[in-house]
A and B are shown apart, each in its own frame.
Chain A
Amino acid sequence: MTWSAAIGRRVAPLLACVGLLAAWQVAALALKNDGFPTAFEAMRAVPAILGDKEALINILASLRRMTIGFAAAVAVSIPLGLLMGRSRAVAAFFNPLLMVIYPVPKAALMPIIMLWLGVGDIAKTLVIFLGVSLPVIYHSFEGAKAVEEKMLWSGAAMGLSSVQRLVRIVLPAAMPEILTGCRTGLVLALITMITSEMIARQSGAGNILFNALDMGQYDTVFAMIIIVGAMGIGLDAAFEKVRARLVRWSEPQFDIPLSFS
């Protein structure tokens, strides 16, 4: 990779952001609509929100639920997906169940969950958990299924038990696929987080957004969209960094020279 290409790769997303904001600014100035503040006004509201203790507590509460929901989903879904990928019996048992749950929008379950668990943290965390689980299960399943039989045989010949083979061969071999599922899961966690707070409005980033909408504070609405969007971009970028490190061995372009010069 050349030096200029490296710079280009870093600058390109920034340019896209600036371009988007500029287009927004121009459009808002042209339309002169109360419900459509300019990019500048929205940006100006961002520090106001982040400086407000109440708002900050709300956003942190959102992030906490999202972290717990995501972590719990990953902790359950990876082992389940791997087991399904390696055992026909486990797959046969869980597959019908998952096929029913898969296409249902998890936010649509929110009213029932609220009815049973209230509008508090548990209900919202559960929805996030459900949203994240399915892609992670699916990708873990696919990753485990694709593990080469001979690789497992090689492990068995070295004396690895079936549990050791699952943890020490299937898990690492499926890791690239698993992490692809986790990345999708992370974005879904953010989506279900906001949606759950829109439905059960009690606290959180989604709550601030909709309260502002009710009160006609459109600059705050747009500022919240910017904040949530930035959170998504930041989380995804951070995750991608971790992912690239963990599965360095499987990346298509891995520029370690094939000579020792």
Chain B
Amino acid sequence: MKVLPSRSSEIMAQVPAQQPATAMIEIDRVSQIFQTSARKDHLALSDISLAIEEGAFVSILGPSGCGKSTLLYIVGGFVSPTSGSAKMKGKTITAPGPDRGPVFQEFALFPWKTVLGNVMYGPRQQGVRATEAEAQSRALIEMVGLKGYENFFPKELSGGMKQRVALARTLAYHPEVLLMDEPFGALDAHTRTRLQNDLLNIWERDRKTVLFVTHSVDEAVFLSDKVVMMSRSPGRIRQVIDIDLPRPRRRTELLLDPRYQKYVVDIERMFDDSDEAGANA
């Protein structure tokens, strides 16, 4: 498959000089088999290998049911792979840990805690003193645009606001990797666009490693350095595409940028082809 002409030399000049990239996360021949109710084995992930470099924003893009979330859960340590392994900085992942911070589509906020209580929860658990944790958390709440809502309970917030709290709550304990599981999937189009912009602004400050699961082609291209395309049944990697678009990215500029448009169209075509192939099979 032919991908875009590379213009990396130009683009490199706009990115701050980086250390030689090291693999932050290594997924090595991971397969995942689930038992369905009929006692039949379902191969959800088949032989996935993928390296994610430090500081990279990597999206996993695919249709629903392709196992992309499962792959994220394996990196999170929430699910153990049937075979193969996932490593973080060379160490095999066996359990969740504060070095990998998840943000879920369902928000998963603690409903009995206020916005401030939610955001402070991680730092407090890590042993940060209350006054310090509170100051940091208030700053984060302001950063995600929720100043003034510190004492609200989650049920009093809209979906977009909840996801902002969830992001702040995860950022608060300084994970090295952000694991985002279709975080904007439950939001309306307008809110989603705003959160994408804000996420990029936040990410461009400290460039954490991000693994971002989505089924939206636009979203993946707009946000990512690299898009991992997955196909369904069994879930495997179809193609990994580098997105050579300059940063900082501005949505309004990108939408007019032919390079951006070509990425989106190319990826959508590839998915269409595979759908037809699937229909003919």
Contact = CB atoms under 8 A, between A and B. Distances in A.
Q: What DSSP secondary structure best describes chain B's contact surface?
A: loop
Interface residues of B, number: 32
A175 B110 CA distance: 12
Interface stretch (B8-16, B98-106, B249-257, B258-266): B98-106
A196 to B, nearest CB: 36
Interface string A45-58: 00000000000000
A254 B97 contact: no
B112 A172 contact: yes
B156 A258 contact: yes
Interface string A158-191: 1110000000010011010000000000000000
Given A157-B97, A249-B111, A150 B106 contact: yes
A175 B126 CA distance: 25
Nearest to B173: A158
Contacts of B98: 157-159
A154 B113 CA distance: 14
A256 B148 CA distance: 14
A148 interface: yes
B96 interface: yes
B238 interface: no
A219 to B, nearest CB: 49
Interface residues of A, number: 22
B95 interface: yes
B125 A154 contact: no
A160 to B, nearest CB: 6
A250 interface: yes
A258 B101 CA distance: 29
Contact of B108 (A151, A172, A254): A151
B222 interface: no
A156 B175 CA distance: 13
Contact of B104 (A150, A173, A256): A150
A185 to B, nearest CB: 21
Contact of B153 (A159, A173, A254): A254
B212 interface: no
Nearest to B169: A154
A40 interface: no
A91 to B, nearest CB: 19
Give the residue among A248, A249, A254 with the most B Cβ atoms within 10 A. A249
| Residue among A150, A151, A260 with most chain B CB within 10 A | A150
Contact of A154 (B108, B148, B153): B108
B125 A254 contact: no
A173 B110 contact: yes
A174 to B, nearest CB: 10
B122 interface: yes
14 contacts: A151-B108, A153-B102, A153-B104, A154-B104, A154-B108, A154-B110, A156-B96, A157-B170, A160-B125, A173-B111, A250-B155, A254-B155, A254-B156, A256-B156
Given A154-B108, A157-B76, A249-B154, 13 more contacts: A148-B106, A153-B76, A153-B108, A154-B110, A154-B169, A156-B77, A158-B121, A158-B122, A175-B112, A247-B112, A248-B153, A249-B112, A256-B152
By Cβ-Cβ distance, the 4 closest A-B pairs, closest first, are A150-B108, A156-B96, A158-B122, A150-B104
